[in-house]
Structure 1
């Protein structure tokens, strides 16, 4: 096949600059770790679905829950965190300026702290000393090195976020009374949410799990540890999602040759996600009796509030698509859809992710609802939901971004051949995830538990009830692993083998018809005060109640 670059929108190229080579190196370092995690975590996922099909046994004494932990930790925590900070580093460098030497040094320190922490946790999982899944619920106990490793990943991410925040603050100082470029604003929002959210899980690890695993205390308060985890665990979903929203809002419009429909609408949706993403973790604990129902209800209400920015996003994006389609001659109600660049993987992959997010979001409403949650809680329905939202909507967007981000960082081009392979990879991923996730949802409605292997279902007859769905999951999982191999092939080619050249970092301009962005949207002092107030309202009394009613440990002190 021809190795010619695919066509790009030349009308904006003169307005865009190439990233500084030193910042590109830092960004690529994150992507290397992210995609190593993708391969290993994907392999673990393939082994899982094969085991659950009842036709495969793990060799060499490997524990099923060891494999389950590898899959969850590497894909849910490591792949996402490293990709996001790699992408955000590049985005900040292009949107608000090249990092200074000190800012870049902080970025590298954050990268190495996260990498060392990842290695520590991974070694313990491989040694079967930390088969505690990615939620690491007590009373399951891991080796202290595993907990220390996860703590380093969090601390390293804080350092990386600080590097990006300092770059933003420098831009604000140099450009007083100007509106921050949209992509830079979005990165700041995501990092702010991430920092607030990770305080809870860092507290759990440092003050509960680490002392417990080291033998300094004989027991920990299980309910408190879960509450601290889920103060982080649900916001983690939005930490995954907001970078995808960055790409949907600020980059995809440029790829299709259009404009951002509304800068103000985009910023408002991000502010709302920041405010309503952290104080909602109790909706993961609706079945736990130790938390008063009124506080659960409050957080369910706050959870439902995130529907609003999701609908704002859907309106804004499809308005952009329709306006561009009609500019290109699309007539009628839906004819404009035909005018969109379906042959361009940079658009095709994120767009499929957007479509899948619709049923994924609907499933999220079920998960967060009091009555419906009783039906699907701790069933494989929840796993299917995660695979629609994070593993499809978010990952397809990340894949689509990789196809232009990596050649931009490496000084190469996205060729027609790689573009076509990317289209095939997207279709394989969507097909495999569709088969696997639908079977998970149906099996979950029938009562199939999550986190369980075939041999743990409680008897052959019970296992046969869901066997056909487990086989379907194995088929879907196999397609997904093939898609991972194909993606990694494309990634390697884009790093070292495609022709050298310049691939744009496609940042879109705002529509000339958009209204001016209100200054209050950039008043982070106000939003931080409101965010902290919401977190305190949502968690202060529940945590106080848990601690005050904690049982005494064997040594006569409270377990907290």
Structure 2
């Protein structure tokens, strides 16, 4: 049973708010880059002062996909760990959180400066042989190591709680936080190896060339679990927070924990499905990792079943009749529910698009087109972003001892609708024109008035319109955050749902971390050891660095 806390320790609140507010600062900067990028691609804007399109593309991707998400997630996880493990963080966990925040902020500042000075125009994936300055890669090291410090703080707090509560089941929020940070730390080992042992020596001139296939393989070892690093905190909200917000209970504590363990096991050894068009990797190993990729569908469907079961159970308990009568009992005027629920709904087509991207033959059609960009924006920029916005509406007041007003709920719902309208135009146009062959990662061009390219232009204009509406949504969200900071004094609950009385108790083996990490290591070795040895032993002469913009 989670104790009913009236307020947070001010020191913990300061740590959480530092992360959350910096996240929204990065969102705003990334939004500026994004709207300018969209207007350029639609042929509606010529960039001033020598600013490059690919500079904007890099800044947009890094600030929104990496910085906004990482800061928000760490702040959210620290808040939940403090809430569920006794009411406050251990001093060492709090200090590690601040150390992590400082290192990440230093790295973010350096990386942003390098991008703005056009010394790191290497896109969000910083793919070799595109070459950035050494400072950019070193900055990435600071960001990754800083996130590790925050993760270690969560682990230490969890370990202390287990020692002082022997035989007790870990609160589900903390269990999920441990899974999320464990996956993050194991996944970032790949990108850390890439940056430390390939990209930094290469950028410093210590070596002349880089093994491009190996660097991309190490990136995507990290790149796909990065998607689930974004998604798992959203799932935490869906599983644990939303049932409480609607006045119900979780359908099953054990099912939720099992789904997170399955995400941990099957989210990492699957990076090759991002490299299906990559030469130099055997199709056999691509097939193995595609099979593992499709295993992720199972916990996703478990999640969908559990969530809608929670909704229906609550609706029936308050008198809902008929097949879908429970829908009427949901709190549609409460933005804490409305925004994440919209994120859930959007994840249905987003997840379906992911299955297409992971299918070898279909991927060959859409791989290098705007379809992929549209899919990416449905997942992280809609399902994840809207859920994070929904969390923000109660998290900031809970940290500050304030409460939302009806006006704030209305503003939040309007912002959510604006965001969805913008994404309908932008992502819908991306998906459609991607199927018509329009490539991603390119600035405005008509390819010398090619008939195909001219036919794409109305969709590019629709993308620009959608991007502009989304930027309005960004500005509205920033205004909402400012309103939350100055909301009336009061009490706001940190909503943590309890499991249904009819639910089965969670098995103790779910917290045998050695078992699950051991299984994960075996899967990683099966999926990667032979192909990586082949990439290294049969390496070509490598590639020199290129700066094309």
Q: Which category describes the TM-score, using the shorter chain as reference length?
A: over 0.9
- Superposition deviation, residue 17 in structure 1: 4.2
Name the structure 2 match of 1:7: none
Alignment of 1:234 with 2:224, yes or no, is: yes
- Superposition deviation, residue 455 in structure 1: 2.5
Name the structure 2 match of 1:412: 402
* In 1, Cα distance between equivalents of 2:541 and 2:355: 38
User: Aligned to 2:92, which of 102, 107, 111?
Assistant: 102
Name the structure 2 match of 1:326: 316
Q: Could you tell me whether the CA contact under 8 Å between 1:103 and 1:163 is conserved in 2?
A: yes
Aligned length: 543
For residue 445 of structure 2, give the secondary structure of its aligned residue in structure 1.
Answer: helix
RMSD: 1.4
* CA displacement, residues 474-512 of structure 1 (integer Å, 9 cap, x when unaligned): 1111111111111100101111x2111111100111111
**TM-score of the superposition, structure 2-length normalised?**
0.97
- Residue 457 to residue 331, structure 1, CA distance change in 2 (3 Å): farther
Alignment of 1:156 with 2:128, yes or no, is: no
User: Aligned to 1:91, which of 80, 83, 100?
Assistant: 80
Q: Could you tell me whether the CA contact under 8 Å between 1:13 and 1:504 is conserved in 2?
A: no
Name the structure 2 match of 1:51: 40
Alignment of 1:168 with 2:158, yes or no, is: yes
- Residue 129 to residue 334, structure 1, CA distance change in 2 (3 Å): same
* In 1, Cα distance between equivalents of 2:499 and 2:484: 30
Q: Could you tell me whether the CA contact under 8 Å between 1:278 and 1:535 is conserved in 2?
A: yes
Name the structure 2 match of 1:423: 413
* In 1, Cα distance between equivalents of 2:515 and 2:44: 57
Alignment of 1:523 with 2:506, yes or no, is: no
Alignment of 1:68 with 2:44, yes or no, is: no
Alignment of 1:79 with 2:101, yes or no, is: no
Alignment of 1:35 with 2:24, yes or no, is: yes
Q: Could you tell me whether the CA contact under 8 Å between 1:17 and 1:94 is conserved in 2?
A: no
- Superposition deviation, residue 15 in structure 1: 2.9
User: Aligned to 1:478, which of 442, 445, 468?
Assistant: 468
Q: Could you tell me whether the CA contact under 8 Å between 2:129 and 2:543 is conserved in 1?
A: no
Name the structure 1 match of 2:354: 364
- Superposition deviation, residue 156 in structure 1: 0.4
Aligned runs of 1:317-466 on 2, under 5 Å? 317-455=307-445, 457=447, 459=449, 461-466=451-456
* CA displacement, residues 430-461 of structure 1 (integer Å, 9 cap, x when unaligned): 11111111110000000100111113756464
* In 2, Cα distance between equivalents of 1:466 and 1:414: 44
Name the structure 2 match of 1:221: 211
Q: Could you tell me whether the CA contact under 8 Å between 2:2 and 2:84 is conserved in 1?
A: no
Q: Could you tell me whether the CA contact under 8 Å between 1:38 and 1:79 is conserved in 2?
A: yes
* CA displacement, residues 98-143 of structure 1 (integer Å, 9 cap, x when unaligned): 1121221111001100100001100000001101111000110001
* In 1, Cα distance between equivalents of 2:44 and 2:61: 22
User: Aligned to 1:505, which of 494, 504, 511?
Assistant: 494
* In 1, Cα distance between equivalents of 2:521 and 2:446: 43
Aligned runs of 1:264-283 on 2, under 5 Å? 264-283=254-273
Alignment of 1:548 with 2:537, yes or no, is: yes
**TM-score of the superposition, structure 1-length normalised?**
0.95
* In 1, Cα distance between equivalents of 2:294 and 2:7: 40
Name the structure 1 match of 2:14: 25
Name the structure 1 match of 2:177: 187
* CA displacement, residues 206-232 of structure 1 (integer Å, 9 cap, x when unaligned): 000000100000100000000000000
* In 2, Cα distance between equivalents of 1:282 and 1:170: 38
* In 2, Cα distance between equivalents of 1:321 and 1:16: 26
Gap runs ≥5 in structure 1 = 1-11, 556-560
User: Aligned to 1:212, which of 202, 214, 220?
Assistant: 202
- Residue 88 to residue 553, structure 1, CA distance change in 2 (3 Å): closer
Q: Could you tell me whether the CA contact under 8 Å between 2:221 and 2:269 is conserved in 1?
A: yes
Which deviates the most, 512-521 or 232-241? 512-521
